[in-house]
Amino acid sequence: QLTDVAKLQAEFADVFSPLPGRMNLIQHHIETEPGVVVLNRSYRLAEHKKKVVQTELDAMLKMGVIEESNSDWVSPKVLVPKTDGSVRFCVDYCKVNAVSKFGYPMPRVDELLDRLGTARFYSTLDLTKGYWQIPLSPVSKEKTAFTTPFGLHQFVTLPFGLFGAPATFQRLMDRILRPHATYAAAYLDDIIIYSNDWQRHMEHLRAVLRSLRVAGLMANPNKCVIGRVEVSSSSSSDVVELNSQQLQESPPVYSSSENDCSSVTHDSPERNHSWMKQEPKNEIIEWENINSDVPAEAEQDSTSNTISSTSFTEHQSMTPMEVLLTNEMLTITKLKCLLENKQEKIDTLEQQVQDLQEDRKFLRTQIEKLTNVLSARFCEGVEKSQEKLND
């Protein structure tokens, strides 16, 4: 199997890259009403953040993601703090989204998991900066223009934050994977390939990678997980485990991501699960609305509903109680995603407050300096006037 993975790497080395590719099947178009122009003032940027913005701009210009602009459209930039202490360069397209329209049905993660069935082998592919691999239509580029202290720029490829971005990307992935629908699925830039035996799994991987190559898409070598993952159930402890082969000798392109799971348990093995094996009572249980209280934001969050970070379970042989537990776990996961998004917004507001406080200190210092200068000049003027009176 290690030999098979090495051959796969050599065969598709051109598909794995830390830099985004350029997709050649579609272009994203921002549809707005004729004559509408969005013009926003730039948000205040603290002096110590300008270097971060300059670095991000240089990197995006080098990758061909953005270009200089003469557009009448202007949106403000935003620096969003990451959990590792760094910041993510974003653009606030709220007003652009308010005048644009685009839609496409997003898949449900739990329904995607249902498609896995009892497959024994899994691989996940994460596309490199997925949105940036989709080009914009010529008339749409000017609508993505944003301002920084270093001038006006516009995106050449699909930026994050646009209302229609997830829909365009999901439509693209559904189109690419349509011939592979029996063994592959995607949620935005996360692709999963699943099979019942190893040789067929290698065939499925090659088929999907060929489609990515034809489309001009690149997969992130640091986030792809290729290997054998077998789902087995232990009747003694009611534990569902993911037994994955350690491909330590395989090339770095297939290193496991930090989201890769090694084991998943419904409950602690030490607990008594005999109640789950009792004869069912003659009661009618309604299952349809079990997730009806999940907020819509959690349903459609594109950054948190990743397939590769979700536990794989044997759906075809699950008892009603196991279905209940699995659905509750999915609900908790979605709520957690929603809370993380809210926390990210709070972190952004806190950062803006901190920047305002620093700006306040800076202005206070400048006011004190100006006051001292004016006081000195006033005293100097009084002395000169007194001298003239004495003369």
Domain containing residue 221: CATH number: 3.10.10.10
Q: Read off the pLDDT of residues 103-154 as tens digits, 9 standing for 90 and up.
A: 777 877 777 777 777 788 888 899 998 899 999 999 999 999 999 989 999 9
Six token digits for residue 328? 């509750």
Does 389 fall in a domain? no
pLDDT category of residue 176 using cuts at 50, 70 and 90: very high
Bigger pLDDT: 285 or 96? 96
Does 390 fall in a domain? no
> Rounded to two decimals, what is the model's pTM?
0.58
**For a pLDDT cut of 70, what percent of the chain falls above it?**
69
Does 165 fall in a domain? yes
The number of distinct structural domains making up the chain is: 1
Does 384 fall in a domain? no
Does 381 fall in a domain? no
Average pLDDT across the chain, whole number:
73
Six token digits for residue 141? 């580029």
Q: Read off the pLDDT of residues 178-221 as tens digits, 9 standing for 90 and up.
A: 999 889 988 888 898 998 888 899 899 999 999 999 999 999 98
| Pairwise CA distance, residues 144 & 67, whole Å | 11
Asked whether 29 and 137 are in contact (CB, 8 A), the reply is yes
Q: In the prediction, which pLDDT does 216 show?
A: 92
Q: In the prediction, which pLDDT does 100 show?
A: 85
Domain range enclosing 13: 2-268+300-345
CB count within 10 Å of CB 56 equals 18
| Pairwise CA distance, residues 304 & 325, whole Å | 20
Q: Are strands 184-187 and 239-244 parallel, antiparallel or unpaired?
A: unpaired
Does 286 fall in a domain? no
Give 266's Cβ-side CA count (13 Å radius): 24
| Per-residue CA distances from 221 to 4, 9, 38, 214, 342 (Å) | 17, 10, 38, 18, 30
Does 117 fall in a domain? yes
Does 295 fall in a domain? no
